[in-house]
Amino acid sequence: MIKVGIVGGTGYTGVELLRLLAQHPGVELATITSRSEAGMPVADMFPSLRGRVALKFEDPQSAGLRDCDAVFFATPHGVAMAQSPELVAGGTKVIDLAADFRLKSLDEFSKWYKIPHTAPDLLEEAVYGLPEMNRAAIKSARVIANPGCYATAVQLGFLPLVEAGVADLDCLIANAASGVSGAGRKAEVGSLFAEASDNFKAYGVPGHRHLPEICQGLEQAAGRKVSLTFVPHLLPQIRGILATLYARVPVDVDVQALFEERFAGEPFVDVMPPGSTPDTRSVRASNTVRIAVHRPQGGDTVVVLVAEDNLVKGAAGQAVQNMNLIFGLEETTGLTHIPVLP
């Protein structure tokens, strides 16, 4: 059994990690920390866990994180890079669901996250935890940078086109929309029901933190600079991301075959038949990503649709997938839930 700890379990990625790990056959949930809620039974905050998770939130200081085989950070950025070096030195694997280890460039990190990076060595060795790109490296990693929710969907949707060299990399467009759980469990006016319900809007148009993360991944795949316009939107629903991607593909290529071949054998990527339009509920509460690819009116513009549950493949599920890879388990262990529909 893998002995697992969670740092910062009071948010939505935290409770989703708990849901997945408490049902995972190869995991022993050893500890979960919250400075503010130390002493409170986890199931008092999240009654969905009553009878299933007996842990109490522990103070980070006293929690036995160093005795864990793996520690997940479901914290605001800045926490993982502070606490990881000691854990890693002691042999504990770290999987950070925040952004601390996502951007390889120290400058980019401090530009977008407004703090200096305090663990540059770990950053250098950290592996970007998108298994469909980096499976081999993940297996031997000590620190995983679990990808952002938008970044997962957008990269997976563009990768086949970019790797095949068929897309015009100077004008990629990613129009994406996320459920409100993506904003976390912070008490903010903009995330109130009476603000976000029955409403739709774009945000972060001048620049969203997932933009450099996406570009880094696509540029690694392309071997050159890419120019991406990324416009996220806020959906009046709890879970789910749909990325609608637009790429100019001026060459005559079977894009359907391209996607099917690229993701053949991938346990969590479903390339749907031509003409499909994946909806977010078809992946709700599951680790599967569904993708469809279109070339409307046979023109130059290819449209890729990617549906993902932002809390699962976009966060906690992908983190568990990475844990499975690191510890040599079957990659799908504990992640076989069928989506909840309706």
Contacting a copy of itself within 33-62 (CB under 8 A): 46-52
CA dist 104 → 59, 126, 171, 274 (Å): 31, 9, 23, 36
251 vs 295: CA distance, rounded Å: 12
Touching a copy of itself, residues 256-295 (CB under 8 A) = 270, 272, 275-286, 288, 290, 294
H or E element, residue 159: helix 149-163
CB of 111 to a copy of itself, least distance (A): 12
For a copy of itself, the binding residue among 39, 223, 328, 342 (CB under 8 A) is: 342
Please identify, using beta-carbon distances, which residue of 139 and 233 lies nearer to a copy of itself.
Answer: 233
Determine the Cα–Cα distance for residues 318 and 331; give it in Å rounded to an integer: 10
Contacts of 44 (CB under 8 A, 6+ apart): none
Residues of span 294-323 touching a copy of itself by CB under 8 A: 294, 296-297, 299-301, 303, 305, 307, 311
Q: Which is nearer to a copy of itself, 85 or 184 (CB)?
A: 184
Report the C-alpha gap between 32 and 54 in whole angstroms. Answer: 11
Is residue 342 reached through a cis peptide bond, with omega within 30 degrees of 0 on the bond before it?
yes
In the list 3, 137, 219, 237, the residue contacting a copy of itself (rule: CB under 8 A) is 237
**Interface with a copy of itself: number of residues (CB under 8 A):** 88
| Minimum distance, C-beta of residue 131 to a copy of itself, in the bound complex (Å) | 17
171 is catalytic: no
Q: Restricting to residues 88-147, which ones interact with a copy of itself according to CB under 8 A?
A: none
Nearer to a copy of itself, 148 or 179 (CB): 179
Of 52 and 135, CB closest to a copy of itself: 52
| Rounded-to-integer distance, Cα 137 and Cα 142, Å | 10
Segment 139-178, which members bind a copy of itself (CB under 8 A)? 171, 173, 175, 177
User: From the CB of 268, what's the least distance to a copy of itself, in Å?
Assistant: 10
Q: Is the Cβ of residue 74 or residue 126 nearer to a copy of itself in the bound state?
A: 74
Between CA 20 and CA 23 the distance in angstroms is 5
Smallest gap from Cβ 233 to a copy of itself, in A, equals: 7
Q: Which of the stretches 103-111, 149-157, 216-224, 231-239 binds a copy of itself when contact is defined by CB under 8 A?
A: 231-239
Q: DSSP assignment, residue 287? A: S
- Return the ∠ at Cα 139 (arms to 1 and 131), rounded to 5°: 110
User: Is the separation of the CB atoms in 2 and 14 below 8 Å?
Assistant: no
Beta bridge partners of 71: 5, 94
Spatial CA neighbour of 72 closest among 59, 56, 83: 83
The count of other CB atoms within 10 Å of the CB of residue 62 is: 10
Nearest approach in angstroms of CB 55 to a copy of itself is 14
In angstroms, the CA 304 to CA 39 distance is: 47
Among residues 68, 149, 171, 215, which one is catalytic? 149
Q: Which is nearer to a copy of itself, 40 or 136 (CB)?
A: 40
Residue 85 beta carbon to a copy of itself: minimum distance, rounded to whole angstroms: 32
Least CB distance to a copy of itself at residue 229 (A): 4
The smaller minimum CB distance to a copy of itself, of residues 163 and 168, is found at 168
Determine phi and psi for 70, rounding to 5 degrees: -145, 140
Phi and psi at residue 291, in whole multiples of 5°? -130, 135
Q: Does 239 bind a copy of itself (CB under 8 A)?
A: yes
What part of residues 200-219 is at the interface with a copy of itself (CB under 8 A)?
A: 200-203, 205-207
Q: Which residue has the tokens 């130390």?
A: 38
- List the catalytic residues: 149
